[in-house]
A and B are shown apart, each in its own frame.
Chain A
Amino acid sequence: MERAPQQPISNSPSIKPQDMKLYQPLHLLPIGKKATISHLQLKGDMRRRLLDLGFVPDTAVQCLYRSPMGDPTAYLIRGAVIALRQEDAEQIIVSF
Chain B
Amino acid sequence: MKKRKDILDSNLHTLPPEEKIIALAGNPNVGKSTVFNSLTGLNQHTGNWPGKTVSNACGTYTYQGQIYTLVDLPGTYSLMAHSAEEEVARDFLCFHQPDAVIIVADATCLERNLNLVLQTLEICPRAVLCVNLLDEAAKKQITVDLPQLEKELGIPVVGTTARNHEGLEDVMAAVARLTQSSSPIPPMKITYPEPIETAITMLTSQIETHIQGLNSRWVALQLLGNNQALYEKIACLAGEDFYQDPTFAPLLTQATNYLTEKNISREQQKDMIATAYVQQGEKIYQKVVTIENDDYAKFDRKVDRLLTSKTWGIPMMLLLLGVIFWLTIVGANYPSQLLSKFFFTAETWLLAAANSSNLPLWFTDMFICGVFRTLGWVISVMLPPMAIFFPLFTLLEDLGYLPRLAFNLDKLFKSCHACGKQALTICMGFGCNATGVMGCRIIDSPRERLIAILTNSFAPCNGRFPTLIMLANMFFIATYQGWFGSILSAAIVTCFILLGLAMTFLVSKILSQTILKGMPSSFALELPPYRKPQVKQVIIRSLLDRTLFVLGRAVSVAAPAGLIIWLAANITIGEVTLLTHAANFLDPLARIMGLDGYILTAFILGFPANEIVFPIIIMSYLATGSLIEMDNLFQLKELLLAHGWTTTTALCTMLFSLIHFPCSTTCLTIKKETGSWKWTLLAMAIPTLCGILLCILANLILKMLLALG
Give residues in A with beta carbon < 8 Å to B: 42-43, 45-54, 56-57, 59, 64-72, 74, 78-85, 87-88
- Determine if B262 is an interface residue (Cβ-Cβ < 8 Å): no
Mask of B310-338 contacts with A, CB within 8 angstroms, 1/0 = 11011000000000000000000000000
Evaluate whether A48 and B270 lie within 8 angstroms (CB atoms) in the complex, with A53-B77, A74-B527 already known.
Answer: yes
8 Å CB contact of A69 from B278, B408, B525: B408
12 contacts between A and B (CB under 8 A): A49-B77, A52-B77, A53-B526, A54-B111, A56-B278, A65-B309, A67-B410, A68-B311, A85-B414, A85-B520, A87-B522, A88-B523
**Cα distance A58–B521 in the bound complex, in angstroms:** 26
Complex interface residues of chain B between 264 and 284 (CB less than 8 A to chain A): 267, 270-271, 274-275, 278-279, 281-282
Pick the interface stretch among B203-211, B300-308, B376-384, B486-494.
B300-308
Chain B nearest CB, measured from A59 CB (Å): 8
CB-based nearest B residue for A46: B522
Q: Which residues of chain B from 577 to 594 have a CB within 8 Å of any chain A CB? A: none
Chain A residue at minimal CB-CB distance from B309 = A68
Extra inter-chain contacts (10) besides given A52-B78, A72-B410, A81-B300, CB under 8 Å: A46-B524, A49-B524, A51-B278, A67-B411, A69-B410, A69-B411, A74-B407, A78-B112, A78-B282, A85-B414
Q: Is the CB of B407 within 8 A of A88?
A: no
A85 and B527 in contact, given A52-B80, A68-B308 (Cβ under 8 angstroms):
no
CB distance from B408 to the nearest CB of A (A): 6
Interface check B428, CB cutoff 8 A: no
Q: Given A78-B111, A82-B524, A85-B410, are A68 and B304 also a contact pair (CB < 8 Å)?
A: no
Q: Given contacts A45-B444, A67-B411, are A72 and B526 in contact (CB under 8 A)?
A: no
Query: What is the total number of residues of chain B having a CB less than 8 Å from a CB of chain A?
Result: 49
Q: Is the CB of B523 within 8 A of A85?
A: yes
Residue numbers in A under 8 Å from B274 (CB-CB):
48, 51-52, 56
Q: Decide yes or no: A80 and B112 within 8 Å by CB, A64-B301, A68-B309, A69-B412 being known contacts.
A: yes
Name the prevailing secondary structure of the B interface residues. Answer: helix
Interface residues of B in 408-448 (CB under 8 A from A): 408-412, 414, 420, 444
Task: Tell me the bound Cα distance from A54 to B523 in angstroms.
Answer: 15
Q: Does chain A have a CB within 8 A of B177? A: no
The smallest beta-carbon distance between A15 and chain B, in angstroms, is 27
* Smallest beta-carbon distance A53→chain B, Å: 6
Given the complex, which residues of A lie within 8 Å of B308, measured CB to CB?
65-68, 74
A56 touches B411 (CB 8 A): no
Knowing A68-B314, A69-B411, A71-B411, the reply to whether A84 touches B524 (Cβ < 8 A) is yes
Taken together as a complex, chains A and B put the C-alpha atoms of A11 and B281 apart, in Å, by 36
The answer to whether A51 and B275 have CB atoms under 8 Å apart is: yes
Residues of B within 8 A of A43 (CB): 267
Residue of A nearest to B410 (CB): A72
Bound complex: CA of A72 vs CA of B410, how far in Å?
A: 7
Q: Which residues of A contact B313 (CB under 8 A)?
A: 67-68
What DSSP secondary structure best describes chain A's contact surface?
mixed
Closest chain B residue to A50, Cβ basis: B524
Residues 633-673 of B, flagged 1 when their CB comes within 8 A of A and 0 if not, give 00000000000000000000000000000000000000000
Please measure, in the bound complex, the distance between the C-alpha atom of A45 and the C-alpha atom of B419, giving whole angstroms.
Answer: 15
| Smallest CB separation, B121 vs chain A (Å) | 16
For A48, the chain B residues whose CB sits under 8 A away are 78, 80, 82, 270, 274
Partner of B82, one of A42, A49, A68: A49
Which residues does chain A contribute within 8 Å of B311, judged by CB atoms?
68
Most buried by A among B267, B270, B308, B520: B308
- A67 / chain B contacts, CB cutoff of 8 Å: 308, 313, 407-408, 410-411
Nearest B residue to A73, CB-CB? B407
Q: Quick check: A83 and B525 within 8 Å, CB to CB?
A: yes
In the complex, per-residue mask of B280-301: 1 if CB is within 8 Å of any chain A CB, else 0 = 0110000000000000000011
Q: Which 8 A-B pairs have the closest CB atoms?
A: A68-B313, A51-B274, A46-B522, A69-B411, A52-B78, A81-B527, A83-B525, A79-B109
**Which chain A residue has the least Cβ–Cβ distance from B270?**
A48
A18 to B410, CA, bound (A): 38
The winner among B520, B526, B527 for most chain A CB atoms within 10 A is B527
B631, chain A: closest CB distance, angstroms: 47
Contacts of B524 in A (CB 8 A): 46, 49-50, 53, 82-84, 88
Nearest residue in A to B276 (C-beta to C-beta)?
A: A56
B108 CB–A CB distance under 8 Å: yes
B110 within 8 A of A: yes
Is A54's CB under 8 angstroms from B115's CB? Answer: yes
Query: How far is it, in angstroms, between the C-alpha of A81 and the C-alpha of B310 when the chains are bound?
Result: 19
CA distance A47 to B521 in the complex (A): 12
B300: which A residues are within 8 A, CB to CB? Answer: 81
Interface residues as binary, B81-122 with A (CB distance below 8 Å gives 1, 0 otherwise): 010000000000000000000000000111110010000000
User: For the complex, what is the distance from the CA of A81 to the CA of B308, rounded to whole Å?
Assistant: 13
Given contacts A48-B80, A79-B112, contact A71 B275 (CB under 8 A): no
Neighbouring B residues of A68 by C-beta, 8 Å: 308-311, 313-314, 408
Q: Are B526 and A81 in contact, CB atoms less than 8 angstroms apart?
A: yes
A68 to B77 Cα, complex, angstroms: 27
In the complex, the answer to whether B523 meets A56 with C-beta atoms within 8 Å is no
Chain A, Cβ-Cβ closest to B316: A68
Interface pair B522/A72, CB less than 8 Å apart: no
User: Quick one: closest B residue to A80, CB to CB?
Assistant: B112
Smallest CB gap from A88: residue in B: B522
- Residues of chain A within 8 A (CB-CB) of B314 are 68
User: Chain A residues near B115 (CB, 8 Å)?
Assistant: 52, 54
| Residues of A contacting B111 in the complex (Cβ-Cβ under 8 angstroms) | 54, 78-79
Bound Cα distance A54, B277 (Å): 9
Give per-residue flags for B492-526: 1 if the beta carbon is below 8 A from chain A beta carbons, else 0: 00000000000000000000000000001111111
The verdict on A71 contacting B414 (CB below 8 Å), with A54-B112, A56-B275, A65-B304 known, is: yes
CA distance in complex: A43, B304 (Å): 30
- The answer to whether A42 and B408 have CB atoms under 8 Å apart is no
